[in-house]
Amino acid sequence: MANRTQTVLKPTEEEEMGLLKKDRDLSEHYNKREELADKILMYLRNGFWVIVAGIVIYYSNFFHHLFKDPNINEFFYQISMAGYTIIVSLMVFTTFIMPRIAGTHDIEEYNPKLVPVGAVVGFISVISLIIAIWPVWGWWSLLIFISIWKGFFGLSVFLPAGDFGNACFMLINAGTVLSFYIIEHEGYLH
């Protein structure tokens, strides 16, 4: 049996660097494509929830019943509205006032206790609101709340950053709350 030895060709540094560069270029290309796909999915997902929230608000005339329906549990309604007033006040403070007073946009740098306070108040407000609207819609209350809540947070994706976007967010949500003035029916889901 003859001893066959194969010569192993070692790539030169230039060839090796060229291969590595091609691999890096391909991975950057795929990363950009993945980022674009993620961004498109984010817009589609949030757009879906904003549309669903709009349909639910129109179909149920949610705010008409929230403000005028005699079946609303008044005690829990008052708790939820007080909590939402605190949350909106915190949002206005951290968005518009705090950056001008403290010169920072980081709420944890300014006062780290505001985040847990907002979280606890938000949790209590959500539970209170669901209990308050339960006599009107029953089990539908959970689906109505979740769809409006997802639409509320999904809306910010479509707005510009900065003070102008924050002001638009506040104005759109205020307009949504006042939508019961222009919706001509009392809701079809009660």
Is 5 within the bounds of a domain?
Answer: no
pLDDT of 8 > 60? The answer is: no
Is 57 within the bounds of a domain?
Answer: yes
Q: Which of 116, 137, 129 has its CA nearest to residue 84? A: 129
The tens digit of pLDDT for each residue in 34-60 reads 888 888 999 999 999 999 999 999 998
| Cα–Cα distance measured from residue 23 to residue 31, given in angstroms and rounded to the nearest whole number | 12
Instruction: Say if CB 28 and CB 135 are below 8 A apart.
Output: no
Task: State how many domains the chain has.
Answer: 1
Instruction: Say if CB 184 and CB 113 are below 8 A apart.
Output: no
Is 188 within the bounds of a domain?
Answer: no
Is 106 within the bounds of a domain?
Answer: yes
The tens digit of pLDDT for each residue in 59-84 reads 988 888 888 889 999 999 999 999 99
| Between residues 186 and 127, the one the model is more confident about | 127
Is 8 within the bounds of a domain?
Answer: no
- Write down the pLDDT at residue 148: 92
| Cα–Cα distance measured from residue 22 to residue 27, given in angstroms and rounded to the nearest whole number | 9
- Write down the pLDDT at residue 188: 73
Q: How many CA atoms lie within 13 A of 57 on its CB side?
A: 22
Is 160 within the bounds of a domain?
Answer: yes
Q: What would the mean pLDDT of 4-18 be, rounded to a whole number?
A: 57
pLDDT of 33 > 60? The answer is: yes
Is 55 within the bounds of a domain?
Answer: yes
| Structural domain of 110 | 14-181
pTM above 0.85, yes or no: no
- Write down the pLDDT at residue 19: 56
Is 42 within the bounds of a domain?
Answer: yes
